[in-house]
Each structure stands twice: as structure tokens, then as C-alpha cells.
Amino acid sequence: MKKLSIFLILCLLVSFNTLSAQTISLNMNRQPLKVVLKEIQKHTDYKFIYNTTIVDANQLISINVQNGSLKEVLNKMFKDSDITYQISEKLVMLSKKSKTNEIERQKRSGKITDETGGPLIGVAVRNQNSNVISVSDLDGNYTIEAKEGDKLAFSFIGMETFYATVGKSVVVNVPMRTDDILLKDVVITGYQTLSKERTTGSYSIVTSQQLENKLQPSLKSIIEGQTAGVVLTKEGNLEIRGVSTVNGVNTPLIVVDGYPLIGNNVGIESVNPDNIENITVLKDAVAASIYGARASNGVIVITTKSAKKGTFNLTYKGIYQITMKPDLSKLNLATTEDYMDAELDIYNQNPNSSYSSYNSYSRIADYTYLLMAKSKGLISASEADAQIAQLRQNNSLDEVEKYLIKPKQSQQHSFSLSSSTETNQLNTALRYNKEYGNLQNNDNSRFIFDISNTWKPKRWISVRAFANVNYSETNATVEQYSSFTSFGSSSRVLPYTNMYDNSGNPVVWSPVGQRRMSTYETFAGMKDVTYHPETDLDKAMTTSNNLQARLGGDINVSFSDFLTGSIGGSWVKGTSKSQTIYDAESFVMRTAYNDGTDAKNFTTHYIPAGGKIDQSDGEIMSWVLRGQLNYKQNFKGDKHRVSAILGTEISKDTYEYTYLPTRLGYDPISATYNNSFSVYNYNKNTNNMTGSMLFGKAPANIGTISYGNNYGVRDNRFSSWYGNASYEYNNKYIITGSVRLDLTNFFGTDPKYRYKPTWSVGTTYKMAEEEYFSGLKNIFNRFNIRASYGVNGNISLNYTPYLVLAVGSYSTETSGIAYTVNSYPNDQLRWEKTNILDVGVDFAMFNNRLNVALDYYNKKSVDLIVSEQIDYSRGTSTLPQNVGGVTNQGLEVTVSGDVINNSKFKWNSQLIASYNNSNVDYYKVTRNYSSSYTYLTQMVEGYPMDGFWGVRFGKLDDKGNVLYLNSKDELVTNDKLTGADCIYQGHAKPVCEISWTNSFRYKNFEGSFMFVGKFGHTFRKDAFVGSNYNNRHVSERWRQAGDEATTIYPVLNTNGWESFYYPFADVFIGNASFVKLRDLSLGYNLPSSVVKSMGLTNLKVYFQTRNLFYIAAKGIDIDPETAEYDKSGGSGGMINQGYTSLQLRPEFYFGVQISL
């Protein structure tokens, strides 16, 4: 933190010149103080130190001295000013003269330190009773005259002001703390570091202190609620001010230490949250246009920590987390009794169907099988009835929850070490975290190592080098909880499956096609086909790992006081590997072995004994190179401030991946497989050789047998030129402008579209600096009005101007490797454009006690690449073209204030509200059918981007079928519904998101809690719609004439036709608004005496809990956040809205932080 503050105090350090004379001759007339001091330094080896908040460095000084000593010069200089000085060895400290009688006061002194115990240099110490001011020296020591009872105020930029009342002791030591709010005043764009006062754009800043008490492992979720306009979506993506593309990249650009993260698996998760100094979110055109064509979705700039000057620090932070077990009753499934009742109903409706399935060796549900077997005489009626009675006693869901599901847990360990000398700043950080999932053998871990060093061998040059190494590993069982809970007619586990005996021991069963069992028995050498999830889980695993190193650095050269330049870059190299292995003893491989037997010769097995392994490998390499010139100069004092940058950047992103062929007969011990197995022959012949394998075809549950050797590469290239400039007049008016040209190898066969610059202009008006504002100055100490406009771009990496073919697999119908057309040529494809207007007001009241930021934005995106429907007589029904348009409009409010702020108790409260409304301006699609509207969410002209569209429920008829209301308010059956009958049912995404954070500090305790609220969106409730009899509402269905008066759930009907319409009825739309206590945390810093006795500088313990409770809208009986719009859903017959996700459960974290 101090590094930043150093920028803000003028600390003039000059090298010792042995030839300089100790007498000074000066003749300067009305020159700024800092110029005069600089001149003196040329002749002496003294250093000047002063605080700009106390001493005005621009005040004009006149002096004429010939061969005078330093003291003589200083006395003469400050004779008529309010400045006094103090000389200590080779250091001259400037401060203000006392205006009161100093005789009663005696010297008090002490040392000023930061949280780490390091000295703070240049802290202003003001005696509030006498107005005497002093400054701390290089060791953090200060001296000031004060009497008992005087109040001293210690102030330093970036730190909270510390107040002390002088007692009897002459020594007053002062521990100062970093001030979160003030640190927000530095904007880091990745190209520049600016004071927020010097900008015109819209930025949000998150400081390391805001992150420190968030103990969850995911950086994305840590950022949630911290800044206005940045939201974490249901899918886990960060979104800045809505989405402004359809097919393009829709996530923000992440920039770390100045360079964008490009390539696969190089996301924000590769950043160590414990090693972050500052996160700056660039939201509008001014900020983002310097990132040009990839900045449409906003930019998140992350700066990692660097060592504080002259310090040594070693810190360990450890966190353990446990999450409550999921409550499976919240999956909203039918009870065993209701499920069996429905299964019986279905069987009676179409008894042929189960017999057909049985005959074709398919698995049918156990209860249905017993009913069918009983009617066809396959087993006796009494035996069937007895087994059915037994099934009614079981409840698999309870057993899954009790025996299979575990609470999630995680552990995080983080070390950081930093050390700094005059010329080197070294920072290293190491982090390891491991998370354990709800099922055994499911875990993931990540290891992050960072090292950075800044070396400043000469005053005019500095060299920065950094490295980031990430290793992550994921182990997941192929079967997940949904394998045991998504009940369908051929599921292995059904609600009435008996999985455990009374003592909790697993009970095995054979979930294969019932008719297969008798066939297996007639062959020798068949494998056992019994199954139990608990024992089978770890026999089918997907493991993946990812290693990636990012190296980078730059050289900064100062050519003169106003011109600097830098050259730098970053380089990423990474490998990833993913393997799915089915063990030889897994249920899938055992049954595949059996089913892959030759029907006539049981010694011939088309599927060899052993396991199955599928593997893919990927390798990325990407780099960015940049050269930049920076110009910064002030004229006429500081009346005119000009700064500009000019740079160029080239980057390349390459990726190679290989899918190896499926290997069978795999033995993990010897790492061998069956060489004679030919995937090509298997797929070409065996798979379709009806009559040759036991049941005609190859076993379906073995999954895809991949040819492998799929090989792919990517080579994306960008080349850019950019520049920006800013001019500020009299500390009141700022105008800025930026321009950037991006070229890529993706587009641009038509030169008209190749050279397309992005640009921005912006202005800020600091109203509080005006004369006419002086009357309000004691209320508003800052009042800035900002406005900006500009154009950003976005790219869709999926489309090119060329005819692109795709290689498919072997087709048994055409006897060859099938190629298809991937995309038709279009040489007019180009960058998408987003025009952003931003108007903002920032004001601070009561001496920064209350800070308010307001922003209005309008992002108009045009030329969006969408697949426009065309005449299918042209051979394709859609063609991607730059024709889409979307507008996002929004308001953002941040209000932050110190409710209480005294030396004992501090309470800060911050409310952030973001409102975003999108509108589809142009999107040409023909929607004839209601299903053209109801699938997932739809973009419809004149409506929000993520709209839910659906049909209107009328009533159930006297046969239990659904009648809908069409656009003329007539009751119709589903076949009569057309697109015109669909209505808009609300946003799928929240319109308004708020977060309300309260932080407290009392003595050594600190705590905070954050509420998040999401409003204005809707969700589709779970419903029984005719065929999904695994839903809890199946028992409320229509059964006989008259029921239609009391229920909205239709008759059970296996054809599933209603499920294409009814789930999307207005009666199943729920209000998804909620408020949730997202987190609550407590921290305790052990008293420094205790900590010191342990040889430490700091010891802190933490506790945090997340998602303790929520409040939803009236009548909503499930957590809307769980049921919120989920893109992974579908619209098929058994789909059950609200089912696909397990509910969010309360999480508990315990942590400790130790610093040496």
C-alpha cells in the first residue's frame, strides 16, 4: 500500500554528489517551492521530505543568497511563510509553523508503524490544539510539541487518520491502519496507473482489504457484491453491465499485471486471491477502448501485490470449510408411493410398450417389469405381488442422502513472502486449495505460485519480472448424484430401489435389461452384472489436470521528466490432460463384455476384457508483446496537466489438442491395453452387425468408442495500435480521448472492414473546485461530473469469412468419413461494435465521511453476429451475419459511509445497487410455433435479451387435457398453438442487483456481513406436466372427470406431448426475487503483546458463514437462486424445472492468519 502512497508524497531523493559544495548560491524569483528545493539539492547532499497536504509545493518563493549555508538559505526562504523546518542528519523535514504559545508544551515523540509493524515515512502529525504540524522521518519517528490533554491527529494518504490524546508519557507510539476507502482512489488500467481524480471514465475498484475477509476459495464469488455493475451469474460468469453479444465472447477481458489472460483455462481462477493488491473494473468506453476489440464486455484489471519498501513479511493463511449436506427432499421428487401409482397408470395405458422393450432386451423399470411379467405369465402372480409389496417399503432417496452424499469440505493454505530493499522489491506467494465434493472420490485442487521482482538499478530504469505457475487437478466420478436421483423408466436407481439393508450395508442388484439375464445364464464365462452405486462409483472416473506457466515482465525507462517508455510482454505455456477410465470391474465394462460376446461363439468377445480409457491432451501457447511511450507534463505550475500514451501490441494465441482413440482392455497397473482392438472395425462393422453380438448391437452403455486421433489447432492473431491523451485545466476540467486499431487474422478479407478503429472521448468537471461552490464546500468536499462516449468492439471466434468444412466420423450409410459444411463463406463478417455512453456523478460529503457514485450508461451494440434465418431453398436455413442489435441501459449507485468512526469503534456501511435492462433492437427470426419461443430463453425484438416466453393456461378439460388460451382468448389444445399465442413472461436474469455490506471494527475484533438481493426476474417452477411422473406434483394430477375444478396438473400421458407446451405456461412462472445473507464474517486480531511474545507480528483468527438464510417472494417454496434460469436445462419429456441443481447450502469457514 505504501508503494502507492509514495507516489503521492513528494519525496525528492537525490544521489550523493561528493563534488558538491556545502555552500549555496541561489537567485530565484517567484519560483514554485518544489523547483527551488530541487535547485538546492543540486548543491547539497540533503534530502527534503514533506507532506503535500501540509506544505503547498507550488507556493511561489523568491530568494537571493550568495555562498550561504543551508540554514541561512532556509531561514531566508521561509522567513515570511508559515513553513518551518527541522534538520536531522541529511534529512530536511518541512512542516507548518505553530501559531500559539509553545512555551507550555514539551517535546513528545514516538514511532508510527503500519499493520505489519513497518515504519511509515512522511506521516503528518498535527496537534489539533496548537495546530503545530510535524512529519515522521525515514524510520517512522516523529517529534512534536504538546501538553497533556492535547489531541494529536496522524494522517497519511491511504491510511485511516489516527487520533491520540496526549497523556503523561513523552512517548506516543502510533499503529496506523490502511484505509479501504481512500485506496479506492487509485485506478489501474493495465496501461496506466492514475489518480481517480485525473480520470473521466467509469471505474470500480476493489482493494485487497475488501477481499481479505472473504474466505471462500473462488475468486469470482469473492468479487460478488463488491462493485456496482459487476454481477456473478447463475452459470458462474462475471458480467459487467449486461451482455452485449449473441455469439461472440460474452465474458469480461481479464488483465493481470498489465497483460490480458488469453487462451484456454487461463481464467480469473488462475489468480491467487490472497495475492491481489487491487482490482479495477473498467466499465465504459473510456476505460475499455484502450483494450479495443475485446473490451465490449468490460475489463477486469487485477494487480498483484508487491513488496512494501524496506520491509520483510512472511504470512500464512489457512482455512477449513464445511458445507451442510444437501437436502434431497428439495429436489422436489415424487414419493415412492406416488411414483409407483403413476407407473401403474402408465403400464395400464399401454401394456404393449413394456413388452416391446422387454423383448428388445432393454431395461424396464422394476415395477413395470413385475406387472408385465405377471400378465405374460413370466412369473407367478403371487410372487409378483409379494415383490411389489416389498418395493412399496423402499425409499432410495432417503438412502442416497443418508449413505452416499457427504458434506462438501475444503481446505486452503496460503503463504506469502515479501522483501524489499532500495533497489529490489520481491514478492512471492504460494497457495494450495483442495475441495471435496458431495460424493466420495470427487475432489479438485489447485496450486498457484507467484513470484515477482521489480529491480531499479538506476533512477531512470526499472525492470519488472514475474511468473505465475498454476496446477489444477480434478477427480470426478462419471456418475454424479443425478445418476441416482433422476428417476426415469430405465434408470438403474428408482424411488423404490432397495439400496441398503437395515444395518446400512449395500444391497446389490442387477439393473440390466431383464431379458438379458436369462441369456447370460446360457453362456459360460459371463461376468457378474450386479451393481451398487457405492462400490461402483470409483470404478468410473474422469480425471483432468492442467499445468500452466505465465512468465512476463517489462523494462521501464525514463527518458526525461516527462517522457517514459516501456517494453514488455507475457508468455503463457500450458498443458492439459483429461482421462476417463472405466475400470474392468465397473458395471459398464462388465455388462459391455457380456453383451459384446458373439452370439454363436461365446469365446469370441468383440469387447475385450479389461477397462476402457479415453484421453485427450491439449497444449496452449500464447504471448503478448507491447511497447509504449508515456508522456506527462504540467505547465504553468499545475494549471495545465497533459498526459498521453502511445503504444502497439501484438499477440498470438495457439492451442493444440488431441483426442486419442478409445482403448479397451485397459489395465491401469501395467498401463497396457488390448492392441488388437480396432476402433475403426468396431464402428464400421461390429456396431451394426445385427445378429452377431449377443443382443444384436454393441452395448449402448459403453458410450462412444472414439476413433480418436482427432487433432485440432487454433492460431488466433491480433495486432493493435493504441493511444490516449488527457488534458486537465486548473484542476477543474479534464478531457480525455483514446483510439485503438485492432487487426486480426479472423476477419477482413474485405479491406473495408479490416481497419476499423475503436475510440472514446470523455470529460470530467470538478464542480467543487469552482468559486461559486465554496459555500457548499464544508458539506461537499468533492463533486465531480463525468461523461464519456465511445466505441468498443467484440469478436466472435466461431465464424470466419471462408467456407469451412468439418470432419465427421465414419458413416456406415455412406461408407466413408463424413465431411460436412461447418460454415458458409461470408467476406463481410466483421467486429461487433458497442457504443457506450456513460454519465456519472461522484461526490463526497463531510470530509469524505460519505461517498456517493452514480452512473447512468447506455450500451448500444450493433453489427452483432447472429444466425439470421434465410430461405432454406438456399441450402441452409440460417447464415451468420453482422445484423443483430442489442441495447443495455442501466443505473449504478454506490453509497458508502462511516456511520461511526472513532478510535474504538468503526462502522462502515456500503450499499451498491445495479440496474440493467437490455433490449433487443434487431434480431430477425421466424417463429411459427410456440416451441420457437419456449426453448430456454429467447431474444425477441423489442424485449429484453434473456426473456422467458410461453403460453397461457386456460383450463383442464373434462379428460384432464390442458386447454390453452390463444391470442384471441379462445381455449385451444396444444396443436393449435402458434408462435403468435406466446407471451412474454419476464426476465430470466435479475434486473436489479444490490449488495449491502456492513463492516465493523471494535478494538481487536472486526466483522462484516453482506446481504445480496436480486430482483425483477422470474423462474419456471417445477411442475407435473403430464409425463414427468418423477415430479412431486404427480399425486395432484387429474384422474377423473371433475378433478379439473381443483387441479392444474393434467392427466398422466406417456406420449409426453404436453411437455413441449405446458412447462412454459404462465401458471408456472414464479417470482425469482430474493434477498440472502450471502456472508457473515468475524475476525479477531490477537493483542500485539501476546503476538509479540510469540515472536510474530500478527495473528488473526477468522470465522465466516455463507448463505445462512434467504427471503423469497410470497408463495415461493424453493430457493429461487437454485431454481434460477439454468442454461443446462432442456425441454424434453422428463424435464423438471428446478431439478437440475442441488440447493445452495450454508457454508462455514474457519481460518487463521499468521505474520512474521
Partner 1 sequence: MKTKILTLIILSVFLSTSCSKFLDVKPAGKLIVQKGDIVSYDNLMNGSGVLGSGFKNPGSYIMLTDEIEVSDNHNTYNTNDSYIAGHNAYIFKTPYSNPINKDNIWGAFYTVTQTYNCCIDGVNEVKTPETTEEANATIAQATIGRAWSYFTASLLYGPVYKPNGTNSAKVLPYRKTSQVLAPMEDLSTLDEVYANVSKDIHSVLKNVPEVVTGVARFGKVQSYSFLAYYHLFTAKYDSVAYYANKALTMAAEQNGGMDNLFYDMNKFSWADSKVATEPDARYRSSINTAQGTIALSDANMREICLFKYIGITGLCYPSQELLGLFNATTDLRREYFFFEYDGYKGTLGGVAYNDGRRIQNFQSKVAYTSGFTYPEILLMRAEGYARTGKTAEALADLNYLRKFRHKTGTPDLNISGADNIMLEIANERRREIPVCSHKRFADLKRYTKDAGKPWSKSGITHYLRGKSFTKNVDSEYFVIPIANDVIRYNPQWGLEENTTPWSKDFNF
Of 815 and 1089, CB closest to partner 1: 815
- CA-CA distance, 898 to 907, in Å (whole number)? 6
Of 88 and 877, CB closest to partner 1: 877
Subset of 562-581 contacting partner 1 (CB under 8 A): 565, 567
Report whether 858 contacts 842 (CB < 8 A): no
Sole window of 56-64, 715-723, 768-776, 910-918 interacting with partner 1 (rule: CB under 8 A): 715-723
Q: How far is the CB of 1062 from partner 1 (least distance, A)?
A: 14
Q: 10 Å Cβ neighbour count for 818? A: 12
Of 421 and 654, CB closest to partner 1: 654
Helix and strand numbers (H, E) in the chain are 21, 55
Report whether 281 contacts 205 (CB < 8 A): yes
Of 165 and 688, CB closest to partner 1: 688
For 398, phi and psi rounded to 5 degrees?
-60, -40
| 1055 near partner 1, rule: CB under 8 A | yes
Using CA atoms, how far residue 132 sits from 137, 144, 691, 724, 817, in Å, is 16, 8, 102, 44, 88
Subset of 782-801 contacting partner 1 (CB under 8 A): 800
Closest CA to 1085 of 212, 410, 53, 205: 212
Of 690 and 1089, CB closest to partner 1: 690
Q: Pick one of 771, 975, 1089, 1095: the residue that binds partner 1 (CB under 8 A).
A: 975
Q: Which residue has the cell 462419471?
A: 478
Q: Pick one of 461, 517, 779, 1111: the residue that binds partner 1 (CB under 8 A).
A: 461
Sole window of 282-290, 412-420, 641-649, 1072-1080 interacting with partner 1 (rule: CB under 8 A): 641-649
Q: Pick one of 91, 803, 899, 900: the residue that binds partner 1 (CB under 8 A).
A: 803
Of 166 and 977, CB closest to partner 1: 977
Of 30 and 874, CB closest to partner 1: 874
Of 689 and 992, CB closest to partner 1: 689
Subset of 806-835 contacting partner 1 (CB under 8 A): 806-808, 811-822, 824-826
Which residues have CB under 8 Å from 950's CB, separation 6+? 930, 933, 934, 982, 983, 985, 1064, 1065, 1066, 1069
Subset of 650-679 contacting partner 1 (CB under 8 A): 650, 652, 654-655
Q: How far is the CB of 341 from partner 1 (least distance, A)?
A: 15
> Grid coordinates representing 1035?
399425486
Decide: helix, strand or coil at residue 340.
helix
| Residues shown for the chain | 1156
Subset of 718-737 contacting partner 1 (CB under 8 A): 719
Sole window of 93-101, 448-456, 605-613, 690-698 interacting with partner 1 (rule: CB under 8 A): 690-698
Subset of 846-875 contacting partner 1 (CB under 8 A): 870-875
Subset of 148-177 contacting partner 1 (CB under 8 A): none
Of 175 and 979, CB closest to partner 1: 979
Q: Pick one of 314, 465, 629, 936: the residue that binds partner 1 (CB under 8 A).
A: 629
> Grid coordinates representing 610?
479389461
The β-bridge partners of 656 are 619, 713
Subset of 530-559 contacting partner 1 (CB under 8 A): 555, 557, 559
Report whether 366 contacts 358 (CB < 8 A): no
Q: Pick one of 960, 1013, 1063, 1138: the residue that binds partner 1 (CB under 8 A).
A: 960
* Nearest 10 degrees: Cα torsion 103, 104, 110, 112: -90
Subset of 374-433 contacting partner 1 (CB under 8 A): none
Q: Pick one of 804, 1067, 1111, 1156: the residue that binds partner 1 (CB under 8 A).
A: 804
Sole window of 53-61, 248-256, 876-884, 1106-1114 interacting with partner 1 (rule: CB under 8 A): 876-884
| 249 near partner 1, rule: CB under 8 A | no
Query: H or E segment at 1028?
Result: none
Subset of 607-626 contacting partner 1 (CB under 8 A): 625
Q: Pick one of 1040, 1067, 1111, 1156: the residue that binds partner 1 (CB under 8 A).
A: 1040
Strands 106-113 and 174-175: parallel
Sole window of 386-394, 478-486, 533-541, 682-690 interacting with partner 1 (rule: CB under 8 A): 682-690
Q: Pick one of 730, 973, 998, 1047: the residue that binds partner 1 (CB under 8 A).
A: 973
Q: How far is the CB of 292 from partner 1 (least distance, A)?
A: 14
Report whether 50 contacts 42 (CB < 8 A): no
Q: What is the 3-state secondary structure (H, E, C) of 833-863?
A: EEEEEEEEEEEEECCCCEEEEEEEEEEEEEE
Q: Pick one of 13, 386, 700, 713: the residue that binds partner 1 (CB under 8 A).
A: 713
Subset of 320-379 contacting partner 1 (CB under 8 A): 348-352, 355-356, 359-360
- CA-CA distance, 612 to 625, in Å (whole number)? 44
Subset of 879-938 contacting partner 1 (CB under 8 A): 879, 926, 928-929
Q: How far is the CB of 348 from partner 1 (least distance, A)?
A: 6
Strands 424-436 and 443-458: antiparallel
Q: Indicate the DSSP class of residue 960.
A: S
**Looking at this protein, which amino acid is placed at residue 534?**
E
Q: How far is the CB of 567 from partner 1 (least distance, A)?
A: 6
Q: How far is the CB of 982 from partner 1 (least distance, A)?
A: 13
Q: How far is the CB of 351 from partner 1 (least distance, A)?
A: 8
Subset of 743-782 contacting partner 1 (CB under 8 A): 743-746, 748
For 815, phi and psi rounded to 5 degrees?
55, 45
Which residues have CB under 8 Å from 326's CB, separation 6+? 401, 405, 438, 481, 1142, 1143, 1145
∠ CA 1124-1128-1130, rounded to 5°: 95
Sole window of 220-228, 406-414, 740-748, 1113-1121 interacting with partner 1 (rule: CB under 8 A): 740-748
Q: How far is the CB of 371 from partner 1 (least distance, A)?
A: 14
Q: What is the 3-state secondary structure (H, E, C) of 1090-1147?
A: HHHHCCCCEEEEEEEEECCCEEECCCCCCCHHHHCCCCCCCCCCCCCCCCCCCCCCCE
* Nearest 10 degrees: Cα torsion 397, 399, 404, 410: 80
Sole window of 12-20, 198-206, 480-488, 741-749 interacting with partner 1 (rule: CB under 8 A): 741-749
Subset of 431-460 contacting partner 1 (CB under 8 A): 460
Q: Is 509 exposed, middle or buried (0-12, 13-18, 19+ CB in 10 A)?
A: middle
Sole window of 70-78, 643-651, 946-954, 1010-1018 interacting with partner 1 (rule: CB under 8 A): 643-651
Closest CA to 1115 of 1068, 1065, 1077, 1066: 1068
Of 599 and 1144, CB closest to partner 1: 599
Of 752 and 1127, CB closest to partner 1: 752
> What would you measure as the largest C-alpha separation in the chain, in angstroms?
124
Q: How far is the CB of 1098 from partner 1 (least distance, A)?
A: 42
Number of shown-chain residues binding partner 1 (CB under 8 A):
95
Of 14 and 557, CB closest to partner 1: 557
Report whether 135 contacts 124 (CB < 8 A): yes
- CA-CA distance, 693 to 678, in Å (whole number)? 16
What does the per-residue mask of binding to partner 1 show for 276-305, with x meaning CB under 8 A?
A: ------------------------------
> Grid coordinates representing 868?
439470421
> How many Cα neighbours within 13 Å face the side chain of 846?
10
Q: How far is the CB of 691 from partner 1 (least distance, A)?
A: 5
| 1132 near partner 1, rule: CB under 8 A | no
Q: How far is the CB of 627 from partner 1 (least distance, A)?
A: 4
